[in-house]
Amino acid sequence: MNTLKSLGKLLWGAKQEPERARIASGVFYQTNPAAKVRRKCLYKDSELTICRTDVKHQFLLIVQQVFDDGEEELEDAEDLDDEHEFLIGEELRFAATLVEGSNGFKWADPEDPEGVAGYEFVIEDPKSDSKVVRDGFALAVAQCVWERKNERSYTQAPEAEIASIVMQVEDEELEKMLNSVAISENELQDMINEGKSQENPSPETKSPKTSPTGKGKGKNKGPARQEKHRKPNKYDEHLPAPPKKIAFGDITVSVIGALYLFDFASESFVEVDSSVALSVIETDKYTYFINVIANERDYVTQPIEPSMNAIFNHDHLSLIWNFFEDGKAYSFSLVASDESHYNALHQGMTKAAYETLNEMPWSKVGVSSQDYLLDAQEEDIDMAAVPENW
């Protein structure tokens, strides 16, 4: 509790100031799992402050864009929004957390009726310990929450109550994270089995019952793999040999769908497995692979690179890409089980391809550029009707 006291004194100060706490540098994001771009960078350089309002015991959380010399005049000329304000209260569900491995905060969008959108702030302060700054600022927010709820100064609050506000929010965020999809290789197989238990003979018959996984949901660490066996498929002779090993690392996205192979004899895509898992794996910084595995067979593991020529089609919820092995070329297609899986794969693959090619984080790309890159990998022409044997 002495630590809580010292952090509070450091941030709040001994005098009554309009500005109660401040983090001078960070990146501000807007998040919405239901949107096409689920994470948008609003301000690449911003500061986060807690300020008093004219109403006693009420405080604002303010995110303000920071400009370099000459930039502010340009922004003003374009009449762009350079500040976001939030009334601090329990409804924000403010949490100190890790955002893609960096210290930061997450909080809810109070104007979202669905309750799924929110905001993130990633601390970028090389001159100080970002975890200390993060925890101190979270404590200051908790004190503001307590004051608004009890209409008294936080100095009258039992220390345990202030601490419980911080812990309660962090615990809820942790529980939500763990309950989302903490995925392992075995759990991928369970997802595949679930997909096989539901009829999915064509792209028009899709199951919405499984959920795509997102960044940081799990890691496949390379356990001993059992040999897989399945019933022969008449297209087996046209498939590449199963990979001897699959890529291991952080699973950035994993989706379920049906796997198709382009058959040159019939000049159409033919189904080779009704339910597979396609995972994007980050094996090293700016190095990504895809694994395509099923319950009874591993199909593909390959690096994400331009020669894949990955093309998405929203109408068919499909991804088409090339695979090369032993001088032979193959064209695969994954038809996602539903739109949420398709959107997760579209964004996850585009992000991985961008970071591989440019060796810089996707989060540093502006919103308009992200939209452009996503659209660039998606076909915008009318496609021929899907063959009956799809």
User: Got the DSSP string for 269-337?
Assistant: EEEEEEEEEEEEEEEETTEEEEEEE-SS-EEEEEE--GGG--EEETTTTEEEEEEEETTEEEEEEEEES
Q: Cα(221)–Cα(237) distance, rounded to whole angstroms? A: 31
Strand spans (E) along the chain: 19-31, 39-52, 59-65, 83-87, 95-99, 102-108, 118-123, 218-220, 249-263, 268-284, 287-293, 298-303, 311-313, 318-325, 328-336
Residue that has been written with the tokens 């033919």 in this structure: 270
SS3 257: strand
The pTM assigned to this predicted structure is: 0.49
- How high is the pLDDT of residue 358? 87
The answer to whether the Cα torsion of 192, 195, 200, 201 is positive or negative is positive
Closest CA to 250 of 140, 100, 93, 76: 100
Position 309: which residue type?
N
> With bands split at pLDDT 50, 70 and 90, how would you rate the model's confidence at 121?
very high
- How high is the pLDDT of residue 194? 55
Q: Cα(30)–Cα(34) distance, rounded to whole angstroms? A: 12
SS3 65: strand
Closest CA to 345 of 212, 250, 220, 187: 212
- Phi first, then psi: give them for residue 48, nearest 5 degrees: -120, 125
Q: For the chain, what percent of residues have pLDDT higher than 70?
A: 71
Residue that has been written with the tokens 């440019």 in this structure: 358
Q: Cα(390)–Cα(384) distance, rounded to whole angstroms? A: 13
Here the tokens at position 146 are 């307590």
Element (H, E) at 95: strand 95-99
Lowest mean pLDDT among 105-114, 159-168, 208-217, 266-275: 208-217
- How high is the pLDDT of residue 174? 55
> With bands split at pLDDT 50, 70 and 90, how would you rate the model's confidence at 376?
confident
Examine the pLDDT at 253 and tell me if it is beyond 80.
Answer: yes
Examine the pLDDT at 6 and tell me if it is beyond 90.
Answer: no
**More reliable by pLDDT, 379 or 164:** 164
DSSP state of 74: H
- How high is the pLDDT of residue 200? 45
- How high is the pLDDT of residue 291? 94
pLDDT 10s digits, 254-309: 999 999 999 888 888 999 999 999 999 999 989 999 999 988 889 999 999 988 88
> With bands split at pLDDT 50, 70 and 90, how would you rate the model's confidence at 3?
very low
Segment 104-113 mean pLDDT: 90
> With bands split at pLDDT 50, 70 and 90, how would you rate the model's confidence at 102?
confident
Q: What is the CA radius of gyration of the chain?
A: 25
- How high is the pLDDT of residue 220? 58
- How high is the pLDDT of residue 69? 61
Q: Rounded mean pLDDT of the chain?
A: 77
Listed in sequence order, the residues at least 6 apart from 214 whose beta carbon sits closer than 8 Å to its beta carbon are 180, 181, 252, 253, 344
**More reliable by pLDDT, 314 or 196:** 314
SS3 2: helix
pLDDT 10s digits, 305-352: 988 889 999 889 999 999 999 888 999 999 999 888 898 899 899 999
Here the tokens at position 271 are 């189904």
